[in-house]
Amino acid sequence: MGPHPPHSAPEGDLAQVAAEARAGMVRAIEASGGWDADPAWRTAFEQVPRHLFVPSYWIGVGDGHERLWGGDPDPASRTRWMRGAYADAPLATLLRDGELLSSSSQPSLMARMLAELRIGPQDRVLEIGAGTGYNAALLAHRVGDERVTTVDLDPDITETARAHLRAAGHAPTVVTGDGARGCPERAPFDRIMATCTLPSVPRAWLAQCTPGALVLAPLATGLIRLTVTGPEEAEGRFLHTSAYFVPLRGAARRRTGTPYPGGLPRRALHSELFQFLLALTAGVLDPREAVSLWQREGRPARERYGVSVRGRHTWSWLDEPDGPYAWPLPDT
């Protein structure tokens, strides 16, 4: 067999790289315990090709960031792109004026979130934050295209997600709109999953849910899982894992945090759990009050915190919804 033409990747070799890299990603997710709550998700990650959803992405930060893309004329660069597409790491996919607008989340975190959503084969699912479309494809693989709706505010993101989904052989409903308002024309939903950080729980979502529906969303630096008990009621606790996502844009706005004063204990400043408490109570507790509570209560883990929605009131709490430690969340 003669040499390959200049600047041409041997497609068979690249396909082999993809197969090996995808198998490595699946092993990494399994080792992390990503789908311990629902091992059936393994099949979706084995069969949905992530590289079709990240035809280009950036690695590195600031002036040192580098773009990798599948159309690079250099075979070695294409191989790096393919291997990177299956790394158990988040990938920045859309930058605008230096701001990160969209990314493909870390696969092990995606797997954990999907597993914790406890999706049944007939469930109708709403995803807030279309991103690359990869998460919607995983959902569609599990429950079918017709039961999945994904919403994003940015038309460039939704257009790109549709193209990626078509390339992967999936056609869930992709809607351009404000995720904080849900998608009433496609309701009701049995599961709602957000892949962007929220400042609070949008009440519009609850009215679009079936009784007993689950909502899973990043809030502060954690993941809250709520059970919906009515059109204006939901309650649940945070999962143990941390979660960092691009913030929700549109009608819902983030709260501004409180600047750190000097003199906080070093242990608190370097504790992820203390940073979670600060984010959860931003604008309500000042950092000195927060560190006093954190120390007094034995540096509580995320699972001791929760969120309740009752009518027009939404609040976070420690240990009990009606206990002594409760903090209002903003109206969305």
Q: What is the pLDDT of residue 263?
A: 61
User: What count of other Cβ atoms lies within 10 Å of the Cβ of residue 66?
Assistant: 10
Residues 174 and 89 in one domain: no
* Contact predicate 228/212, CB 8 Å: yes
- Domain identity same for 64 and 135: no
Asked whether residue 247 falls in the same domain as residue 143, the answer is: yes
Q: Would residue 75 count as lying in a domain?
A: yes
Backbone angles phi, psi at 325, to 5 degrees: -110, 105
Domain assignment present for 261: no
Same domain, 109 and 158: no
Say if residue 244 is in the same domain as residue 176: yes
- Would you say residue 11 lies in a domain? yes
Residue ranges making up the domain that contains 317: 266-328
Tell me the pairing of strands 326-328 and 173-176: unpaired
Phi-psi category of residue 131: left, alpha or beta, with phi > 0 → left and psi -120 to 50 → alpha: left
pLDDT of 254: 46
pLDDT in tens, 281-323: 999 999 999 999 999 999 999 999 999 999 999 999 999 999 9
Residue 181 covered by a domain: yes
Q: Number of structural domains, the chain? A: 3
294 belongs to a structural domain: yes
Q: Is residue 198 part of a domain?
A: yes
CA distance 318 to 154: 35
Same domain (yes/no): 226, 210: yes
Same domain (yes/no): 127, 245: yes
pLDDT at residue 264 in the model: 67
- Mean confidence (pLDDT) of the chain: 90
CATH code: domain of residue 164:
3.40.50.150
> Tens-digit pLDDT profile for the chain (332 aa)?
444 433 344 566 999 999 999 999 999 999 999 999 999 999 999 999 999 999 999 987 556 678 999 999 999 999 999 999 999 999 999 888 777 888 899 999 999 999 999 999 999 999 999 999 999 999 999 999 999 999 999 999 999 999 999 999 999 999 999 999 999 999 999 999 999 999 999 999 999 999 999 999 999 999 999 999 999 999 999 999 999 888 887 654 444 444 445 566 777 777 899 999 999 999 999 999 999 999 999 999 999 999 999 999 999 999 999 999 999 998 76
Alpha helices, DSSP H only, in the chain? 11-32, 41-47, 75-85, 107-116, 134-143, 155-167, 203-207, 266-269, 272-280, 287-296
**Within this chain, do residues 217 and 309 fall inside the same structural domain, yes or no?**
no
Instruction: Establish if 259 belongs to a structural domain.
Output: no
Residue 31 CB partners (closer than 8 Å, separation 6+): none
Do 57 and 73 sit in the same domain of this protein? yes
Same domain, 216 and 318: no
Kindly list the catalytic residues.
102
